Amino acid sequence: MPFSNFAGMIAAIPAVLIAITFHEYAHGKMASIFGDPTPESQGRLTLNPMAHLDPIGTLLLFLAGFGWAKPVQVNPFYFRGDRKKIMMLVSLAGPMMNLVLACLSAVGLRLLGLFSPGMGTFTIYLHIFLKLLLFYNVVLAIFNLIPVPPLDGSKILGGLLPEKYSEVLYSLEQYGPLILLLLIFTGVIDLFLGSAVQKVINFLTFISGVGFI
C-alpha cells in the first residue's frame, strides 16, 4: 500500500513494527507453551520491536510491500508431544496472529467511521494508521504462508505431508533463500501476493462493514 504524504509515512512506522513484533512474539510464545525455553532465553518473548527486527526484511516491507523479521529460533527436541505437528503449530502462530490483528484493524476502521465521522487531523492519522496496520498484517500473513523455506508456509506444509515427502521439503531448506529471492526478483511473488492480499483485505473490510462507511 503506497503512501504519498507525510502522515502516511509516519503512520507506516508503528504499523510495520506492530505487525512484525506480534508475528515473532506469537512464534516464540507458541514454542514456549509446548516446552521450548529457547525463545525466552534469547529474549524473544517480548513486545519490544528491537528484539525482532531484521534490517533488510523491514526495509523491504516499507519499499516493496513484503518482508520479514528476524526468525525466532526454536529447538523441537524440547517439545512435549508430536514434534512435527507442534512445529507446524509454532509456524502457523505468526501468520494467524497477523490475521487476528488485521481483523481488529478492520473493526477499528468501522468503529472510527461510526463514532468519529469528522475528518480532523487525529482522525485522519488514525484512519491511515489502521488501514496500514490492516495492510501490513495481511501482507505478512500471506507472504509467510508461501511454502518456500525458510518461510512459515514450508514448515506448515511439512507438518501436513507424509514423513517421506516432508523430509524432501526440509532438505530444500539450504536452497530456500535463493529460491525465494529468485521468485521475488522475477515478480512471481508479487503476482501472487498482490492478488491474495487484496482478496483477504476485501473480505475483512466487507465482513466488518468498512465498505459501507
The angle at the Cα of 105, spanning 101 to 108, to the nearest 5 degrees, equals 135
Please compute, for residue 157, the number of CA atoms within 13 A of its CA located in the half-sphere on the CB side.
19
Which of the residues 24, 40, 167, 173 is marked catalytic?
Answer: 24
- 86 and 161 Cβ atoms separated by less than 8 Å: no
C-alpha cell at 136: 501490513
For residue 4, what are the CA distances in angstroms to 1, 7, 59, 137?
10, 9, 17, 20
- Please give the radius of gyration of the chain, using alpha carbons only, rounded to the nearest integer: 18
Indicate the DSSP class of residue 71. P
- 22 and 15 Cβ atoms separated by less than 8 Å: no
- The answer to whether residue 24 is catalytic is yes
For residue 66, what are the CA distances in angstroms to 51, 82, 139, 161, 174?
20, 32, 6, 27, 22
C-alpha to C-alpha distance for 174 and 196, rounded to whole angstroms: 27
- 4 and 32 Cβ atoms separated by less than 8 Å: no
State the catalytic residues.
Answer: 24
